[in-house]
């Protein structure tokens, strides 16, 4: 059976996790949440658990996450469009 790379050259997909807050969340609350998430992600236990599962820990800020989401949406929209994927 061919690998994904042999079947779909250039194919890349990643699993990622993110924390979201309502759009109207005040900036100081978002800043506190961001700081808490960064502290949690920096703990040795968290790092060890995720890297032990083969994951890479990367923490972004809200602006970086917004750009990442725009890029992902454009990429997967293209996959759906080019593949003529429809839902039933």
Give me the pLDDT at residue 45, please.
94
Which of the two residues, 8 and 39, has the higher pLDDT score?
A: 39
For CA atoms 31, 44, 16, 68, give the dihedral sign. positive
Spatial distance between the Cα atoms of 18 and 86, rounded to a whole number of angstroms: 26
Give me the pLDDT at residue 80, please.
86
CB 46 within 8 A of CB 59: no
Does 48 have pLDDT greater than 90?
yes
Rounded to an integer, the average pLDDT of 7-26 is 87
Give me the pLDDT at residue 58, please.
86
CB 37 within 8 A of CB 19: yes
For CA atoms 52, 54, 60, 66, give the dihedral sign. negative
Rounded to an integer, the average pLDDT of 35-40 is 93
């Amino acid at each position: 059976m061919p690998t994904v790379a042999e079947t779909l050259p250039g194919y890349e997909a990643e699993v990622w996790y993110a924390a979201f807050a309502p759009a109207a969340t005040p900036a100081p609350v978002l800043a506190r949440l961001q700081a808490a998430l960064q502290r949690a992600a920096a703990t040795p236990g968290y790092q060890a658990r995720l890297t032990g599962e083969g994951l890479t820990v990367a923490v972004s800020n809200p602006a970086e996450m917004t750009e990442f989401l725009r890029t992902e949406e454009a990429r997967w929209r293209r996959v759906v469009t080019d593949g003529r994927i429809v839902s039933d």
